[in-house]
Structure 1
Amino acid sequence: MRCMIIVKASRETEAGEMPSEELLTEMGKYNEELVKAGIMLAGEGLHPSSRGARVRFSGSQRSVVDGPFAETKELIAGFWLWQVRSMEEAIEWVKRCPNPTGAESEIEIRQVFEADDFGAEFTPELREQEERLRAEIAARQ
Structure 2
Amino acid sequence: MRVMVMVKATKDSEAGIMPTVERLEAMGEFNEELIRAGVMLAGDGLKASSNGKRVAFDGANRTVIDGPFAETAELVAGFWIWQVKDMAEAVEWVKRCPNPMPGPSEIEIRPLYEAADFA
TM-score, normalization by structure 1: 0.84
Counterpart in 2 of 1:71? 71
Aligned equivalent of 1:33:
33
Runs of 4+ in 1 over 6 A off after TM superposition: none
- Across the two proteins, how many residue pairs are aligned to each other? 119
Aligned 1:5-44 pairs, distance under 5 A: 5-44=5-44
Find the aligned partners of 1:20 and 1:42 in 2 and give their Cα distance: 22
Distance 1:17 1:27 in 2: 16
Q: CA deviation at 1:118?
A: 1.3
Structure 2: tracts of 5 or more residues without a match: none
Alpha-carbon distance, 1:10 to partner: 0.1
CA distance in 2, matches of 1:116, 1:60: 31
1:66-86, Cα deviation, whole Å (9 max, x unpaired): 000000000000000000001
Q: Which amino acid is 2:19 matched to?
A: P
SS class of match (1:100): coil
With normalisation by structure 2, the TM-score equals: 0.99
Larger radius of gyration: 1
**Which structure has greater strand proportion?**
2
Q: Quick one: distance in 1 between partners of 2:8 and 2:77?
A: 5
Higher RCO structure (Cα 8 Å, ≥6 apart): 2
Residue ranges of structure 1 left out of the alignment (5+ in a row):
120-141
- RMSD (Å) for aligned C-alpha atoms: 0.5
Partners of 1:19 and 1:92 in 2: how far apart?
Answer: 24
User: For 1:104 and 1:61, how far apart are their aligned partners in 2?
Assistant: 39
**Bigger proportion of residues as helix:** 1
